[in-house]
Amino acid sequence: MILRSGLVATIVLACIAGVSFLTAWLITMGSKGGELADILSTSLGALSLLVTALSFSFNVRERRRPERHAKVHRPRWMWVSAALLTTALAGVAGYFWIFVKSDIPVTDRAQITDGARMKVGVEAAIHIPGDPPDRRYFAFVPALTNPTAVGDCVGSARLKIALTIDGRRTQQQTGVLPQQEITMDLDGVAREAKVLVVLDMQDPACEVDLSLTEAVLYN
């Protein structure tokens, strides 16, 4: 009995450790990681609850049965748990590879036009690679750099972001800060998609350079 309780506790603690680690790691990857963390943590959490419930039910049955022999054998619930765990992990992995697909880092491939020495009101464009892009979503982190030693330019800047799909302006976000992660839904792109960035700063004398800290295409 003590051995089984110990095993249950070990499995649950392993699940907690695993889920905590995966969740923390995935959240650091941004919104996409957050979604995956949700999927993983929910499925593994549910699994750990199931394992606990199963072990409880088997133990109750075991207790009701008279003790006929002292032969040590592996309880059935362990095999069921192992099978469930394997199935769940395979399911998550399969879902990921079939439906989600791997991310495509495009930080270096996303071209920026009119992003150098941008002034207030100037519009730059970030061209999303692919014709059309190979994934449903485009996540990126815009960065601004003040090439001079003076001016409160980057710190006071706000960006207006708009997505154009095949020349049509669609999603728009205002008040975006530099280094803030933005996600754009590219659903319906037939030919090309680009992100337009308009700069707003408190000082009209400011000039900054636009770049991308990170850009990823994903499903």
Residues that bind other proteins (CB under 8 A): 5-6, 8-9, 12-13, 15-16, 19, 23, 27, 30-31, 34-35, 37-38, 41-42, 44-46, 48-49, 51-53, 55-56, 59, 146, 148-156, 177, 202-203, 205-206
Phi/psi of residue 158, each to 5°? Answer: -130, 145
Residues in the chain: 219
At its nearest, how many Å lie between other proteins and the CB of residue 52?
A: 5
- CA of 141: how far to CAs of 38, 113, 176, in Å? 22, 16, 10
Distance CA 113, CA 160 (A): 16
What DSSP character marks residue 122? -
Between residues 101 and 119, which has the closer beta carbon with respect to other proteins? 119
Pick between residue 4 and residue 136 the one whose CB is nearest to other proteins: 4
Q: Which is nearer to other proteins, 166 or 177 (CB)?
A: 177
- Please give the Cα distance from 139 to 102 (Å, whole number): 14
CB of 167 to other proteins, least distance (A): 31
CB closer to other proteins, 56 vs 97:
56
